[in-house]
Amino acid sequence: MYLEHFGLKKFPFENNCDGEFFYESEMHSEAFSRLSYVIENKKSCALLTGGYGTGKTFVAEKLRKELTARGYVFSFTVNPRLDELGLLKTIFYNFTGYAAPKAKEDVLAAMEKFLKDAFKDGKHAVALIDEAQSIEKEEVFEELRLLLNYQTEKSPLITLVMFGQSELNDRIYSNRQFSQRIFLSYSLKPFDSQISAEYIKHRLKVAGADREVFTPSAISMIHSRSGGIARWINNICNMALLEAFSSSSPKVSDEHVSEAVKSFRE
């Protein structure tokens, strides 16, 4: 492929949550810092919202990786499109690695025991739920709210952090009882042109680039065509590198970017 042509050691624009490529923009650093505060201070619930491809899952993975090393226990649910019992079972399984009981009352009893045992061991349980805007039933939100009732005299036994697209805010704040449990809400926005350029250069550097790979005009066009959405920046950059490689060009130009964008429309 194009790795040798551009002097790269790794593919720089894969859409996966490889922490090595995580670009800590000021906005993403702020999101991580705020959510870390919520977890470390054993607050009840927080929201991180943003458009498709703005890096919410990257923040979630970074939280899990860094705070697990410091003694927190995590349940990370990536597909919450379940009924209330199904989601409870999934959260329990992701915490423990064991299948949950069948009956709801037994699931709740097992969950309470796990949370209390974690507390006795000096640990704090954190449930991360990605793509939370896909939760279909209000009963599921109610069940999540009731999870937060597990607590000691001073603090909850579990912190719930929900990640989702912007419409999640409307879903949550239309539920008065649930919204009262939200300690913090933060939103990720698309990159501006400067941050888009820094993001592209960061990923290339991590991948081993030791020279300029994209022309300034190409980077400007990538920002314009992607709207500053990280996932679309990755898609366009990847295809533009292929276009430049195919034409034996030493750099990616705006012409290559234009051809790359066309490939997504055909």
User: Tell me, what CATH number does 243's domain have?
Assistant: 1.10.8.60
52 shares a domain with 145: yes
Question: Both ends of the chain: CA-CA distance in Å?
Answer: 22
244 shares a domain with 162: no
| 3-state secondary structure at position 75 | strand
90 shares a domain with 50: yes
156 shares a domain with 48: yes
What pLDDT is recorded for position 153? 85
Are 138 and 78 spatial neighbours (Cβ–Cβ below 8 Å)?
A: no
CATH of residue 129's domain is 3.40.50.300
Distance, CA of 109 to CA of 96 (rounded, Å): 14
209 shares a domain with 152: no
Distance, CA of 111 to CA of 117 (rounded, Å): 10
One digit per residue, the tens of pLDDT, for the chain of length 266 reads 799 999 999 999 999 888 888 898 999 999 999 999 999 999 999 999 999 999 999 999 999 999 999 999 999 999 999 999 999 999 999 999 999 999 999 999 999 999 999 999 999 999 999 999 999 899 999 999 999 999 998 889 999 999 999 999 988 988 889 999 999 999 999 999 999 999 999 999 999 999 999 999 999 999 999 999 999 999 999 999 999 999 999 999 999 999 999 988 65
| 3-state secondary structure at position 70 | coil
Give which of 149, 186, 177, 187 is closest to 37, Cα–Cα. Answer: 186
Are 61 and 128 spatial neighbours (Cβ–Cβ below 8 Å)?
A: no
CA angle 197, 203, 207 (to 5 degrees): 145
142 shares a domain with 198: no
What pLDDT is recorded for position 154? 86
- What pTM value is reported for the model? 0.92
245 shares a domain with 121: no
What pLDDT is recorded for position 77? 97
Residue numbers of the domain that contains 243: 3-18+191-263
83 shares a domain with 30: yes
| 3-state secondary structure at position 20 | helix
Q: How many helices (H) and strands (E) would you count in the chain?
A: 12, 5
125 shares a domain with 61: yes
Are 148 and 181 spatial neighbours (Cβ–Cβ below 8 Å)?
A: yes
What pLDDT is recorded for position 22? 87
Exposed, middle or buried, 231 (CB in 10 Å: 0-12/13-18/19+)?
A: middle
Distance, CA of 89 to CA of 110 (rounded, Å): 10
| DSSP secondary structure letter of residue 101 | P
What pLDDT is recorded for position 266? 53
Q: Which of 159, 188, 217 is the last residue of a domain?
A: 188
Q: Which of 173, 188, 203 is the last residue of a domain?
A: 188
251 shares a domain with 182: no
CA angle 230, 128, 27 (to 5 degrees): 35
Residue linked to tokens 């539920």: 175
- Count of the separate structural domains present in the chain: 2
Q: Which of 160, 188, 216 is the last residue of a domain?
A: 188
171 shares a domain with 40: yes
219 shares a domain with 137: no
